[in-house]
Structure 1
Amino acid sequence: MRLAAPGTLLVLIMAQPNLATGMMPYYRHAWALAPLLITVIFAAYLIALTPTLSLLGTPASRADWWWRIAVGSACGVGADCAMALAHSAVVACVARILAGLSVGLVTGSLAGLILERRGERGRTAMASATVIGSALGTFAAAVVAQYLPAPGVAVYAGHAVLLAGAAAAVVSDRAVRPAAAGSRSGAASLVAEPAAAGYLTGISAWVSAGLVVALLPSYGAELLGTGNLVLLALPVVLYLVTAWLAQRALPPNRLPAEPITAQLIIIAGVLIAAAVAWLPSLPLLLCGGAVAGCGQGLAYRAGLRIVSVAAPPEHHARLSSRFAAVAYLCAAVGTIALGAVASLAAMRDAVPAGALTLIVIVAATAAVRRRAASRAANVPLVSSTTA
């Protein structure tokens, strides 16, 4: 039980901000939300998450884990209560801010706790819990909202009870029983890349996530002419699951120019989803979500490795938090911008605009890498002439 409790809590923490994703078409209809307001609600979570990760997300010691887990879990329960009572976008934004505080406070401490108890296997457990929580939150909320009464209340009330119970189980067990040291053979070497390329790759991954999670369900509802929340949640669920599966199926550095290739896969998926505007088809939308998800998982992994590979292990948590904060902030800005496009033009225009944004980012990544390669190639020449 003590091994399972932190992972269970992480699943529930990551599920909370994704509950609204599965229900967004319902909220759009019930509250008469414009696309811009939908993206503002989504971005409120990222805007709160970013400074929380940067300022409080990396505990200095084990003793600092527990208050973060307790306060962060309380924020998650508060977010559930606010969404259960919400009747407007304003209250929903407050709930999303609480969700951002929850995820930002809790994930770093739970990561430390899971690694302490599981050793190197904990890294796989964390990745699995994050994806399972995100996908399960999206899909379960859609199912409950579609088939049970009082959808705006039942989803959040049930989650609040489970979250409070899991948090109590974790905080009540603070015993130190470290796992046996595991092998670190999986730490494959990485060819030196400029840090800016890593950040741009992470930004591309999360701009696509903002597009898919915030807009794709409403995009599908409008173009496919369906209000079934379960069907509309499927592209997001596929996006999240394939992002995780791609990381597990394809070892790092197997793709040529992995940061560029991963971003091109994302763009291919977004363009497939954009084609739904001309060829309305649920399978086509699902295919777009799945392809973009594969690219997202590979891009986020590649970006994080580029940023952190040269740092000593004790600095990885700080660099990971900084990397995530930059990616989330850019995702929030990009998502609101795409929501503005959908409101001022049409929902069908937002996805091609997202593809164009991602093309600009991959072009910038290629330019940064090319400049760094050129600089590296000139270094020996300079050294030899000055010798």
Structure 2
Amino acid sequence: MSLVLDSPIAERPAASTHHGRGFWAVAGTFLIAMAYSTVPAPLFPLYVAREGFSTFAITVVFAAFAVGVVISLVLAGHVSDWAGRKTILIPALSLEIVSALLFLTSTSLPVLIVARVINGLGVGMIAATATAYLYDLHSRHRPGASPRRFEIVSTAANIGGLGVGALVAGALAQYAPSPLSTPYVVLAVLLAVSIAAVALTPETVVRKRVSYRPQRISADHGDRTGYFAAAAGAFSAFAVFGVFTSVSPGFVAGELHHPSRLLAGLVVFLVFGGAALAQTVTGGLSLSARRAVGLGGQAIGVLLVVAGMYATSFPLFLVGGAIAGIGAGVQFKASIGVVSAMAAPEKRGEALATLFFIAYLGLSVPSLSIGLATRYLAPTTVMAWFAGILLVLLAGVAALSRRAR
């Protein structure tokens, strides 16, 4: 969920080793924070077994995260530009620890929902702030250098962290004692260490007093057809991410008869790992080529996922998830590129905030719909319908992209 912003750096001093160490400290912090947000994914089948939750209840818990992220992006995602990066990042990391402690206190549905909302509030602040902080530190450490290192590291920490969290949580739940506690304890400790690391990192923004206002949400940026194409592409990409994070562990344990928590985490890891890798290696492609790879990857991947469910083939399901993740990652990168290029510099933050708002609707609405539909239809049937609707949406993105200026 990469977010690249123009950031106000106080001054441009000579290259500093403190900023170089700070760059890697913030990168590690970013990865840990994003990893924590997918810890519950491979654990959802355990919650179902213990509390008897329905698939719909699990998707409500998952969607609560997206609600928290959207609220946070609108209210606080831009505040670090004048309040300071550390001023926002440290409280946001503290929110993640509060969320972990809530997960440790109870497995009841209300507590899980509140914990995920708080998790989302923290991530919304962290995603924008950590990305801008990395850009600042890279520029201070290597003045005049290409931003390539920043782009690769921020993508790996952001999207890659989401995959790492699910894989680590799945492994801990499979092999460590107390599977519903140990993953949260481990990540809470790492988050506490991250707070200390950020506290020791140089600040890059001169704090100033400004009149607070929420981040404005608007789609009026340049070519509106191109913007709508980018927004629909972001929605579709996050719909894929949402389905694999929320309901795919249940599908793997149920329809595919693989109850291993490690395998559930591996599915999520391959989806996000494929997305992160694809975003990195396709940086040299043209926008039209990235759009084609993104659309094709999502379409082929989701069809293979459905085929794997009907054939009860876990390898086919896994390959389909990886290809869908690659397509979604490239698709979202293309959307970011389109919006960043078309928006006026003074409105770029607003344009990207709107894009993320729409993307996170894609993260929650399809997952909730699938969770609700599984109460009345077989999961394989529901996923087939999801694939059909996604293909229609991808066709719409392709048509809008051709019409865009």
Where on the TM-score scale, by shorter chain, does this alignment land: which range? 0.7 to 0.9
- Cα distance, 1:359 vs structure 2: 1.7
Residues 233-291 of structure 1, C-alpha deviations (whole Å, 9 max, x = no match): 22211111111111222235447564355223212111111112321122111111111
Percent identity between the aligned chains?
26
Q: Is the 8 A contact 1:69 1:109 kept in 2?
A: yes
What TM-score comes out, normalization by structure 1 length?
A: 0.87
What amino acid does structure 2 have at the position aligned with 1:101? Answer: L
Task: Tell me: CA distance 1:129–1:307, structure 2 relative to 1, closer, same or farther (3 Å).
Answer: same
Matching residue of 2:254 = 222
Q: Is the 8 A contact 2:131 2:154 kept in 1?
A: yes
Whole-Å separation in 2 of the counterparts to 1:331 and 1:177:
32
Is residue 288 of structure 1 aligned with residue 320 of structure 2? yes
Matching residue of 1:14 = 34
For these two proteins, the number of residue pairs brought into alignment is: 361
Q: Is the 8 A contact 1:72 1:102 kept in 2?
A: yes
Matching residue of 2:372 = 340
What does 1:160-239 align with in structure 2 at a 5 Å threshold? Answer: 160-176=188-204, 194-239=226-271
Matching residue of 2:116 = 96
Q: Is the 8 A contact 2:81 2:205 kept in 1?
A: no
Query: What's the RMSD between the two structures over aligned residues?
Result: 2.2
Whole-Å separation in 1 of the counterparts to 2:347 and 2:36:
29
Q: Quick check: 245-254 or 271-280, which moved more? A: 245-254
Q: Is the 8 A contact 2:84 2:205 kept in 1?
A: no
Q: Is the 8 A contact 2:155 2:279 kept in 1?
A: no
Q: Is the 8 A contact 1:138 1:233 kept in 2?
A: yes
Whole-Å separation in 2 of the counterparts to 1:303 and 1:255:
9
Whole-Å separation in 2 of the counterparts to 1:306 and 1:255:
8
Matching residue of 1:124 = 152
Whole-Å separation in 2 of the counterparts to 1:104 and 1:54:
9
- Cα distance, 1:130 vs structure 2: 1.1
Q: Is the 8 A contact 2:282 2:290 kept in 1?
A: no
Residues 292-346 of structure 1, C-alpha deviations (whole Å, 9 max, x = no match): 0110011101111122212345543432222111110232111101111122212
**Equivalent residue of 2:258, what SS?**
coil
Residues 98-156 of structure 1, C-alpha deviations (whole Å, 9 max, x = no match): 11001011222212221111132222211111133211110110111111111111111
Residues 328-369 of structure 1, C-alpha deviations (whole Å, 9 max, x = no match): 023211110111112221222232122122122123223434
Consecutive unaligned residues in structure 1, runs of 5 or more: 179-190, 377-387
What amino acid does structure 2 have at the position aligned with 1:164? Answer: A
Task: Tell me: CA distance 1:164–1:367, structure 2 relative to 1, closer, same or farther (3 Å).
Answer: same
Whole-Å separation in 2 of the counterparts to 1:312 and 1:216:
39
What does 1:299-378 align with in structure 2 at a 5 Å threshold? Answer: 299-313=331-345, 315-370=347-402, 372=403
Q: Is the 8 A contact 2:252 2:259 kept in 1?
A: no
Whole-Å separation in 2 of the counterparts to 1:177 and 1:46:
28
Residues 190-216 of structure 1, C-alpha deviations (whole Å, 9 max, x = no match): x99611100001001001111111111
Q: Quick check: 65-74 or 281-290, which moved more? A: 65-74
Q: Quick check: 211-220 or 340-349, which moved more? A: 340-349
Structure 1 runs (4+) deviating above 6 angstroms are none
**Equivalent residue of 1:3, what SS?**
helix
What amino acid does structure 2 have at the position aligned with 1:225? Answer: H
Whole-Å separation in 2 of the counterparts to 1:290 and 1:176:
37
Residues 62-95 of structure 1, C-alpha deviations (whole Å, 9 max, x = no match): 5332221122111100110011122222211111
What amino acid does structure 2 have at the position aligned with 1:202? Answer: A
Q: Is the 8 A contact 1:80 1:156 kept in 2?
A: yes
Task: Tell me: CA distance 1:192–1:200, structure 2 relative to 1, closer, same or farther (3 Å).
Answer: closer
Matching residue of 1:382 = none
Residues 20-60 of structure 1, C-alpha deviations (whole Å, 9 max, x = no match): 01212222222212111111111100011112112211136
Q: Is the 8 A contact 2:298 2:326 kept in 1?
A: yes
Matching residue of 1:273 = 305
What TM-score comes out, normalization by structure 2 length?
A: 0.83
Q: Is the 8 A contact 2:275 2:330 kept in 1?
A: yes
Task: Tell me: CA distance 1:115–1:195, structure 2 relative to 1, closer, same or farther (3 Å).
Answer: same
